[in-house]
Amino acid sequence: MSCYFPIPPNIEVSGNKKQFINSSVTLGGFSNNSLLDHLEKNIQKSYFYSIYILRNSFWEKIDDLKCTYGQFIEVSRSQFGIDSKKFMVAISSEKGNNPERCKILPPPYSLRKDISPVAERASYNFKIKNISTSFQGEYPFRMSSIKKGSLITIFKSAIIDSKQQKNYVLLMNLKRDSYLNQIHKIYLLDPYSKKLLNIVSANNNSFNVICLNNLITEKYLNTNKEIFIQCKTAAFIPIFINLKNNLDEINVEHTHPPKQFFWHGFHEKGTKMFKKKWLDFI
């Protein structure tokens, strides 16, 4: 499955405006799985990553980065001077000939060469001072094209000490259509009592940064309960970041979509049943 790679924002640490969590994405120019004959044919081939930002309701290309076979390249906002308010995305390209300006993002070029299964992913990196962490992620092409979706995810608050660390949720959404920029309601709930803990807003084509410490009471954060996060009108990929207040530790986690809970072949029916129950939660 071909994928887009949105570039996360640099996050200002809540309560400490002089400190930022700096983000970047490390991309590769090769398939991570292929038959030997295809591997040998492509050993000298170069690929490109087109870097786009969303500006004035259009996608504008700011660069084409060449990536030779076997090479890794790191992309950050800082190297282009792009502030965290603009949405930024990297798109794989075979020849670097994507349009300079467009309303609909071009489809990403797939590095897959044969029937071998390929996970087209990037390394999402987060760093503060000299401490860094990362995870493997992507934004599926199919997900960027759906008109309506939903979000169901759980954040375990047992690891939280609200006095000792900051807890962020990044809700990532990408739509190929640059004009799609609706506002959606995100519900934060207690999954046991069904109590509404808070409501926040999140946009399409955006990294929506949410600091849980500012939205959830300290009493609840220090319980052994989960935080249920739900949206009925749009799909988001959640990224959870925990940062110690003394800035000597940073951790990042992501969750899997509900279909991962079911056997293949039953996952569509199972996901539908699961979503119906949990989206009717409120």
- pLDDT digit string, tens, across residues 210-225: 998 888 888 887 777 8
Residues 117 and 40 in one domain: yes
User: Rounded to an integer, what distance in angstroms lies between the CA atom of residue 135 and that of residue 103?
Assistant: 30
**77-87: average pLDDT:** 92
> Based on the domain organization, do 121 and 45 belong to the same domain?
yes
Question: Are 76 and 171 within one domain?
Answer: no
Question: Which tokens is 218 given?
Answer: 């300290």
Task: Report the amino acid identity of residue 70.
Answer: G
Q: 215: domain range? A: 146-279
Non-local (6+) Cβ contacts of 59 within 8 A are 52, 53, 101, 102, 103, 104, 105, 178
Q: Residue 163's pLDDT band (boundaries 50, 70, 90)?
A: low
pLDDT of residue 183: 94
User: What's the CATH number where 120 sits?
Assistant: 2.60.290
Give the model's confidence band at 158: pLDDT under 50 very low, under 70 low, under 90 confident, else very high: very low
Instruction: Please tell me the predicted confidence (pLDDT) of residue 114.
Output: 72
In this predicted model, what pLDDT tens digit does every residue of 44-79 receive, in sequence order?
A: 577 899 999 999 999 999 999 998 888 899 999 999
Tokens of 119: 């996970």
Q: Angle at the Cα of 55 (from 255 to 2), degrees rounded to 5?
A: 40
pTM: 0.87
Do 212 and 239 form a contact (C-beta atoms < 8 A)? no
Of 14 and 49, the structure prediction assigns the larger pLDDT to: 49
CA–CA separation, 185 vs 208, rounded Å?
12
Say if residue 45 is in the same domain as residue 122.
yes
Lowest mean pLDDT, pick from 60-64, 134-138, 242-246, 254-258: 254-258
9 pLDDT tier (thresholds 50, 70, 90): very high
Shared domain check, 153 and 127: no
Q: Is 167 helix (H, G, I), strand (E, B) or coil?
A: strand
| Domain stops at, among 91, 117, 139 | 139
Q: In the structure, what pLDDT confidence band is assigned to residue 10 with cuts at 50, 70 and 90?
A: very high
Backbone region of residue 81 per phi and psi (left: phi > 0; alpha: psi in -120 to 50; beta: other values): left
CA angle 140, 75, 127 (to 5 degrees): 100
How many angstroms separate the Cα of 210 from the Cα of each of 143, 161, 169?
22, 17, 5
275 against 182, higher pLDDT:
182
Does residue 267 share a domain with residue 176? yes
List the beta bridge partners of residue 50: 64, 91
Separation in Å, CA 11 to CA 8, 43, 70, 128: 9, 38, 31, 10
Last residue of a domain, one of 139, 156, 178: 139
So what's the pLDDT on residue 219? 83
Domain count along the chain: 2
Cα gap 212→207, rounded to integer Å: 15
Q: How confident is the model at residue 282 (pLDDT cuts 50, 70, 90)?
A: low
Answer yes or no: are the C-beta atoms of 92 and 48 closer than 8 Å. yes
Same domain, residue pair 112 and 173: no
110-145 residue pLDDT tens: 877 777 777 788 999 999 988 999 988 899 999 999
Please report the pLDDT score of residue 165 as a whole number: 79
Of 225, 222, 239, 240, residue with least CA distance to 190? 225
Same domain, 151 and 124: no
